[in-house]
A and B are shown apart, each in its own frame.
Chain A
Amino acid sequence: MNLKRQLLRLLVFTLAIALVGIPGSAQGQQPIKNPDTLIIQIFGDWDSLDPAWQYDTSSAEVVNWHLYESLIFFRGGRTDLYDPMLATEVPSIANGGISKDGRTYTFKIRQGVKFHDGSVMTPEDVKYSLMRFALMDRDGGPSWILLAPILGFEIQTTRDDKGNFIPSTWDRLNQQIQVKGNTVSVTLKRPYGPFLNIMAQWSMVVSKKFVVQNGGWNGAKATAAKYNNPETNEKTELFTKGGGTGPFRLESWDRANRIVTLVRNDNYWRAPAKLKRVVLQSVDEFGPRRLALQNGDADEIEIGGRVNQPAVTGIPGVRIVDDLAQLLNSPALFMNFNINPEGNPDIGSGRLDGNGIPPNFFSDIHVRRAMAYLFDRDRFIQEAFRGKGRLANGPIPYGMLGYNPKGKWYEVSRDKAIAEFREAFGGQVWERGFKFTVLFNTGNLNRQTGSQMLKEAVESLNPKFKVDTRGVTWSSYLGQLTANKLSMFFIGWSADYADPDNFTIPFMHSTGTFSSHQGYKNPEVDKLIEQAAQETDNAKRQAMYFRLQEIAYTDIPTIYIVYPVSLTVMRTWVKGWYNNPIYPSVHGYFYVMYKG
């Protein structure tokens, strides 16, 4: 949807509100609707409820800690402290749970926990769940998160180059994940500091019996290949079923009406939840979501961008909780060192002749610095995020280990930008001028705003400078990005787990998701990232990440813009809500929530 249409919708919606008026305060004291059911309206959709398949926030919101549970859990709103969950204690070197060499983690498994199908959870189930998660390994799925630390970061898949399953993966996992008595131990290839953080989120325990009963993998090596990389989400047994231990069971997933209904698990291993039901409804349009909130038909809604914030402000009986921290670095502005010129109209003539840019345009540090001096990040935050967000200075989000609050960044300076451009390509850039196009995916208003701001800033410097902007579909954007055809591009990253390693790799490592598509490679950076990942001493790790931030500043392959903060909107009768930035959504942990 383009900006005009979005704005037109907003205008109509605002006018309509003005016409009919927001109901008076009498409705603010309306009695609690559906007092034992929490209703959340979102705009996404669920990909799969199988913990080994799902890798999207909507599915994770249902799966994580509601249907299924992990061995350990995050303490309150902290992402670096843990409480036991399906394990009875959090492993540490002190309690012997982590071996002295930092490679083996031993979890004591809680006894007497029942799955939703009534069977009792055993350490075997835990081992099976970890192996199933790692071995399902669908393309584009989350399995690498366990495979990499256990088998080594050079191994991110269970298949060879031809896409065939490597059977010895099963042997290695079977060897490195061991059941002894009432414990399960996991031995990593090398020490990896973030492993506990991974286990707090990616160790969802499923019932082996339930999976097998539904035609799933029986845990044997011989059948592992058959269940590896399933073709579609429906080919997995837990796609629409729940076989976990969580405080809620899956009552139904109505895919036609896009409603997921969870019902309280009365045989839960702790006291049962206060809520009887949690209903998640997918509603594409903001209008009906907002009205449902106003009418009390929804308790929490996703507003889908701060542009809609005014429309939910001031509704009686509704509160907005703002400034919620996020483990997110988005959007950042990347510069491509080696643009693919093949059939690429977006770099014009492909030469520095005033009608295009050469493919290596951004390999000149002066061009990159000039762009960094030009892009007004404060204004961007003001316009795209209504002023909410913290200026970024590197790949690691604010508040995370390795974030340097004193890290330097470029101030906005027209003069300095001009000076840099005058030096670029031996002065030819300033003399001849250039022309290129910045793409954004339509519907992403932040990226559109950013592209427009960049265009205005660059073109104001020199009449020979020309930047066009163009909206394309997500598929086009993706196609151009992976073909290395984008000159400058906006994109961002949200955490798989709360560790700087998960941010520094995609942003800065030469093999990283983004850096590989911008052709950025600095051997010192690669080495630092690899060393920091293995370092268990936090002070040493921090020093390495501080050094990475310095390089991010001096090399400036990417203009880091903002660590956005989120907000959530809910009825005031929703109680017990709290947020943890690692949660897939801002709707809270349903187990402790109620209405009152």
Chain B
Amino acid sequence: MTAYVARRVLLLPLVAFGVTLLIFALLQFLSPAERAALFVTDPRQLQHIDAIIRKYGLDQPIYVQYWTWVKQLARGDLGWSQVARMRTTQAIGSFFPATLELTIYMIVPIILIGLWLGTTAAVNKDRFVDHFSRFFAISLRGLPSFVWGLIILMIFYGRLNWFPPGRLSLEANLFVHSGEFKVYTHLMTVDALLNGQFWIFLDALRHMAGPILTLVLVEMALLVRITRSSMLEVLRQDYVRTARAKGLDEPVVIGKHARRNALIPVITLSSLLFVGLLGGVVLAETIFNFPGIGKWGATAAVQLDIPGVAGFGMFVAFLTVLGNLAADILYAAVDPRIRLQ
């Protein structure tokens, strides 16, 4: 097991190398002037475009640019992200905790409600609960998340003024920047509690509610569907029939014999969901003006902020490898037949 984990972790630099090489290789398809667009945002700067290309070495062969970047990386410097107006490492350090916090608050209800609803639907196949859950899942996923986002924003901010966009209110933000507030984890709710500022905790929660609600509604649907079909498959297995024939209580049959086996695809999905949420939150982050890493990564990609995109790509690759690793370990935990070599 240890060797397996070690091997997976050792794979990380290779994955990172592959991702960044791919990003730089894709640049080959763009002309130097196109790559300079990050620095030329106003027609008034057009006259200087040749100087800008020269300054940032944008006309150099791509391997030279990559080598320069790698040398910089060797010094622990991921470069300047013009989109974030920060160094790339600083940008990851600042945006990731916000998204992580959002994801944690999101993934717990998604998994709990998703599993419960999926199981219930499978057990009550073709009954009202099942139809309801399917209708629920289809209608929620039927609309893109930005539509849900806007509707939730309109109702819960526009009408009720419960869940405002942004990360903190004006007063809370002033307090956080006043020097009286110590930053420990960059997770706002956790830091608020550690500082003993319960009102900031509530304020941060209030601001996260909109994006959380949006993504829970949309992402949960998929989990409900997968759990349901996986459960249905397992419920048809002989050992479930045997368990029932042995006279076991239905909750034991469902909870211990069936659901545990149905969890395998669900774990895969959940681990992907965790990483996928980083991308999936982009729209929610945009609509609710929440300063997360997904929005930064997407903007950096559109604006050709190469240090930003490369840093973001590496970071996401890193998370994906870790997510898969966690899934593998969980497989072993739920299914002893799976042996990690």
Contact residue among B30, B41, B164 (Cβ-Cβ distance under 8 Å from A56): B41
CA distance A156 to B45 in the complex (A): 13
> Is A271 interfacial (CB 8 A cutoff)?
no
Q: 0/1 per residue, B284-298, Cβ < 8 Å to A? A: 001111010001000
Give the interface centre of B85, B164, B165, B291 by most chain A CB atoms within 10 Å: B85
Which residues from B are CB-within-8-Å of A159? 51
Binds A, one of B32-40, B243-251, B332-340: B32-40
6 interchain pairs (CB within 8 A)? A233-B82, A259-B173, A281-B166, A292-B165, A475-B34, A491-B43
A139/B98 contact (C-beta < 8 A), A252-B177, A475-B30, A482-B46 known: no
* CB-contacts of B60-97 with A (<8 A): 80, 82, 84-87, 94-95
- Establish whether residues A12 and B147, one from each chain, have CB atoms under 8 Å apart when the complex forms: yes
> Is A55 interfacial (CB 8 A cutoff)?
yes
Binds B, one of A13-21, A87-95, A205-213: A13-21
A140/B37 contact (C-beta < 8 A), A37-B170, A254-B173, A288-B287 known: no
Report the interface size for chain A: residues with CB under 8 A from the other chain: 69
> Is A478 interfacial (CB 8 A cutoff)?
yes
* CB-contacts of B98-154 with A (<8 A): 98, 146-147, 150-151, 153-154
- Give min CB distance, A159 to chain B, whole Å: 8
- Give min CB distance, A86 to chain B, whole Å: 26
- Establish whether residues B48 and A140, one from each chain, have CB atoms under 8 Å apart when the complex forms: yes
> Is B241 interfacial (CB 8 A cutoff)?
no
Which residues from A are CB-within-8-Å of B159? 20-21, 23
A139/B170 contact (C-beta < 8 A), A55-B42, A255-B85 known: no
> Is B272 interfacial (CB 8 A cutoff)?
no
Which residues from B are CB-within-8-Å of A139? 39, 48, 51-52, 55
- Establish whether residues A493 and B43, one from each chain, have CB atoms under 8 Å apart when the complex forms: yes
Which residues from A are CB-within-8-Å of B302? 473
Which residues from A are CB-within-8-Å of B154? 13, 16-17, 19-20, 287, 291
Contact residue among B40, B47, B146 (Cβ-Cβ distance under 8 Å from A478): B40
Which residues from A are CB-within-8-Å of B86? 234, 255-256
Which residues from B are CB-within-8-Å of A294? 158
Which residues from B are CB-within-8-Å of A423? none
Residues of A within 8 A of B (CB): 9, 12-13, 16-17, 19-21, 23, 34, 37, 39, 45-48, 55-56, 139-141, 156-157, 159, 163, 229, 231-234, 251-252, 254-259, 261, 279, 281, 283-285, 287-288, 291-292, 294-295, 297, 473-476, 478-479, 481-483, 491-494, 496, 506, 513-514, 517
- Establish whether residues A479 and B41, one from each chain, have CB atoms under 8 Å apart when the complex forms: no
CA distance A535 to B126 in the complex (A): 88
Give the interface centre of A45, A284, A287, A491 by most chain B CB atoms within 10 Å: A287
A9/B146 contact (C-beta < 8 A), A140-B45, A513-B44 known: yes
Which residues from B are CB-within-8-Å of A284? 286, 289, 295
A163/B51 contact (C-beta < 8 A), A288-B165, A478-B40 known: yes
A474/B37 contact (C-beta < 8 A), A255-B86, A287-B287, A482-B46 known: yes
Which residues from A are CB-within-8-Å of B168? 257
- Establish whether residues A256 and B291, one from each chain, have CB atoms under 8 Å apart when the complex forms: yes
Contact residue among B43, B47, B82 (Cβ-Cβ distance under 8 Å from A232): B82
> Is B326 interfacial (CB 8 A cutoff)?
no
> Is B269 interfacial (CB 8 A cutoff)?
no
Q: Which residue of A lies closest to B302 (CB)?
A: A473
> Is B237 interfacial (CB 8 A cutoff)?
no
Supplied contacts A56-B41, A140-B49, A474-B37, 10 more A-B pairs, CB within 8 Å = A141-B48, A156-B47, A255-B84, A258-B291, A261-B174, A284-B286, A287-B287, A292-B164, A493-B44, A517-B46
CA distance A479 to B40 in the complex (A): 11
- Establish whether residues A16 and B150, one from each chain, have CB atoms under 8 Å apart when the complex forms: yes
- Give min CB distance, B203 to chain A, whole Å: 13
Q: Say whether chain B's binding surface is mostly helix, strand, loop, or mixed.
A: helix
Q: Which residue of B lies closest to A479 (CB)?
A: B34
- Establish whether residues A234 and B80, one from each chain, have CB atoms under 8 Å apart when the complex forms: yes
A492/B157 contact (C-beta < 8 A), A257-B167, A474-B37 known: no
Q: Which residue of A lies closest to B41 (CB)?
A: A56
Contact residue among B43, B84, B158 (Cβ-Cβ distance under 8 Å from A295): B158
CA distance A305 to B39 in the complex (A): 23
> Is B161 interfacial (CB 8 A cutoff)?
yes
CA distance A334 to B84 in the complex (A): 34
Contact residue among B54, B85, B153, B173 (Cβ-Cβ distance under 8 Å from A233): B85
- Give min CB distance, B89 to chain A, whole Å: 13
> Is B341 interfacial (CB 8 A cutoff)?
no
CA distance A255 to B153 in the complex (A): 24
Q: Which residue of B lies closest to A27 (CB)?
A: B161
Contact residue among A9, A45, A478, A517 (Cβ-Cβ distance under 8 Å from B85): A45
Q: Which residue of B lies closest to A343 (CB)?
A: B31
Which residues from A are CB-within-8-Å of B266? none
- Give min CB distance, B304 to chain A, whole Å: 5
Give the interface centre of A47, A157, A283, A288 by most chain B CB atoms within 10 Å: A288
A291/B153 contact (C-beta < 8 A), A258-B291, A283-B165 known: yes
Q: Which residue of A lies closest to B97 (CB)?
A: A256
Which residues from B are CB-within-8-Å of A257? 166-168, 173, 291
- Establish whether residues B51 and A140, one from each chain, have CB atoms under 8 Å apart when the complex forms: yes
> Is B25 interfacial (CB 8 A cutoff)?
no
The 4 A-B residue pairs whose C-beta atoms are closest, nearest first, are: A475-B37, A479-B34, A16-B154, A140-B45
CA distance A12 to B166 in the complex (A): 21
CA distance A111 to B297 in the complex (A): 49
Which residues from A are CB-within-8-Å of B289? 283-285, 288
- Establish whether residues B157 and A140, one from each chain, have CB atoms under 8 Å apart when the complex forms: no
* CB-contacts of B280-317 with A (<8 A): 286-289, 291, 295, 302-304
- Give min CB distance, A485 to chain B, whole Å: 10
Which residues from A are CB-within-8-Å of B286? 284-285
- Give min CB distance, A388 to chain B, whole Å: 22
